[in-house]
């Protein structure tokens, strides 16, 4: 909608046209311009003149963009020209929206491909022709095969998901409790050597994992744990340094007066912890738990190194081994969807907590 009040009476139609071109056409034109700049970098098929054609299209796009921009720049210096505003056009702000939209499609598209491949028939999923949707009809055959039947790997996908959940929940729940207790003692209790212990703990975060990767295996072999999920679960039970740092910061914000009041009422150290500190820290704890759970569930290296028994595989290793054992893409895609769905559901339900948790645990303000 163009409101008449805002158009200067002296502004001719062609100037409005330039303004509209600048705001509507140019952002859209950037898409083919970039596309046809990249494409000629590839080697054209034999007998195809696509390189020339595409280069010309790209050049044409750039010429139009530059012309409009130059005229627009000239006109901008006239005062009345800038006063003109179309409300819808400025609300849309295509120059901003088009690149965002294109990038969002690029981000989302692999997920679409994963899903579509999983419902294709095996023949179509593995054919050399790419299809955008299941032309031979959608089928849930691939899901039936991996959810119910034991795959070549020797485990059903259902069992793998259950395993992943168990390995991710146990260390995260108990580890979070340990972290919270430690963070409480570092922030609200007083004892000799407290700060020294805390800084020692912070130091451990700096140790890069690449150093202990090889000898970690030696150690767990020495403990006799290498064919069990214990190496994935037990180290997490003691809490994590980053988590403690974050929770300590949070507990410091709880006023001492609150705890003092409780202690006057006769609450002991742990009573104060469980009935005052923990309920207050619930959102922080929740964020830490979800983030920890996601990273445990998605862990690949640990399970790859330590799990050798098929019945104990996690989702991630099952998926990896499945993709190298079977040549059927629809099976791999279906397994991928199953590995993805729990995390996506978690994300949809706890989006706010996750996003907030990330920006808080970075320790930056904001």
- Its sign, for the CA torsion 305, 345, 361, 171, is negative
| Of residues 174, 177, 363, the one with CA closest to residue 281 | 177
Residues 267-296 that bind another protein (CB under 8 A): 268-270, 294
Could you give the string, one character per residue 300-339, with x where binding to another protein holds by CB under 8 A and - elsewhere? xx---x---------xx--xx--xx----x--xx--x--x
Residue nearer to another protein on the CB measure, 1 or 13: 1
201 contacts another protein (rule: CB under 8 A) = yes
Could you give the string, one character per residue 21-40, with x where binding to another protein holds by CB under 8 A and - elsewhere? ------------------x-
107 contacts another protein (rule: CB under 8 A) = yes
Bridge partners, residue 86, by sequence:
2
Stretch touching another protein by CB under 8 A, among 9-17, 23-31, 176-184, 278-286: 176-184
Size of the site for another protein (CB under 8 A): 117
Q: How far is the CB of 12 from another protein (least distance, A)?
A: 26
Residue 28 backbone phi and psi in degrees, to 5: -70, -35
Q: Is residue 40 a contact partner of residue 55, using CB atoms and an 8 Å limit?
A: yes
Residue 67 backbone phi and psi in degrees, to 5: -55, -50
57 contacts another protein (rule: CB under 8 A) = no
Could you give the string, one character per residue 224-243, with x where binding to another protein holds by CB under 8 A and - elsewhere? ----------xx-xxxxx--
Q: How far is the CB of 53 from another protein (least distance, A)?
A: 8
199 contacts another protein (rule: CB under 8 A) = no
Residue nearer to another protein on the CB measure, 11 or 262: 262
113 contacts another protein (rule: CB under 8 A) = yes
Q: What's the angle, vertex CA 271, arms to CA 269 and CA 275, rounded to 5?
A: 125
Residue nearer to another protein on the CB measure, 14 or 238: 238
Residues 141-160 that bind another protein (CB under 8 A): none
The residue length of the chain stands at: 366
User: How many C-beta neighbours within 10 Å does residue 272 have?
Assistant: 21
Distance CA 238, CA 179 (A): 7
User: How many C-beta neighbours within 10 Å does residue 362 have?
Assistant: 10
Residues 118-137 that bind another protein (CB under 8 A): 126-130
Using DSSP's 3-state secondary structure scheme, residue 77 falls into coil
Following CA atoms 22, 99, 91, 108 in sequence, which dihedral angle do they give, to the nearest 10 degrees? 150
């Amino acid at each position: 909608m163009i409101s008449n009040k805002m158009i200067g009476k002296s502004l001719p139609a062609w100037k409005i046209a330039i303004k509209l071109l600048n705001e509507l056409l140019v952002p859209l034109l950037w898409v083919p311009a970039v596309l046809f700049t990249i494409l000629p970098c590839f080697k054209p098929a034999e007998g195809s003149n696509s390189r020339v054609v595409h280069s010309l299209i790209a050049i044409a796009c750039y010429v139009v963009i530059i012309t409009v921009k130059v005229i627009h720049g000239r006109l901008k210096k006239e005062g009345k020209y800038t006063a003109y505003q179309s409300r819808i056009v400025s609300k849309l702000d295509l120059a901003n929206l088009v690149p965002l939209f294109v990038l969002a499609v690029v981000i989302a598209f692999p997920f679409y491909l994963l899903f579509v491949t999983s419902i294709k028939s095996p023949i179509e999923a593995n054919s050399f022709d790419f299809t955008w949707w299941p032309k031979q009809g959608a089928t849930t055959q691939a899901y039936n095969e991996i959810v119910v039947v034991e795959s070549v790997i020797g485990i059903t996908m259902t069992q793998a998901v259950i395993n992943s959940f168990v390995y991710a929940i146990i260390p995260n729940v108990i580890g979070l409790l340990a972290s919270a207790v430690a963070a409480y003692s570092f922030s609200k209790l007083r004892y000799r050597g407290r700060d020294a212990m805390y800084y020692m703990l912070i130091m451990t975060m700096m140790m890069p994992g690449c150093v202990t990767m090889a000898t970690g295996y030696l150690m767990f072999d020495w403990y006799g744990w290498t064919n069990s999920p214990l190496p994935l679960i037990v180290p997490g039970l003691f809490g994590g340094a980053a988590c403690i740092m974050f929770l300590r910061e949070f507990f410091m914000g709880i006023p001492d007066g609150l705890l003092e009041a409780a202690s006057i009422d006769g609450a002991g150290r742990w009573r104060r912890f469980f009935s005052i500190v923990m309920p207050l820290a619930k959102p922080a704890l929740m964020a830490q738990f979800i983030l920890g759970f996601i990273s445990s569930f998605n862990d690949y290296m640990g399970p790859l190194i330590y799990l050798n028994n098929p019945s104990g595989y996690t989702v991630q290793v099952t998926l990896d081994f499945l993709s190298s054992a079977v040549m059927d893409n629809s099976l791999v895609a279906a397994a991928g969807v199953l590995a993805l769905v729990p995390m996506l559901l978690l994300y949809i339900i706890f989006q706010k907590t996750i996003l907030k948790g990330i920006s808080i645990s970075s320790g930056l303000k904001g």
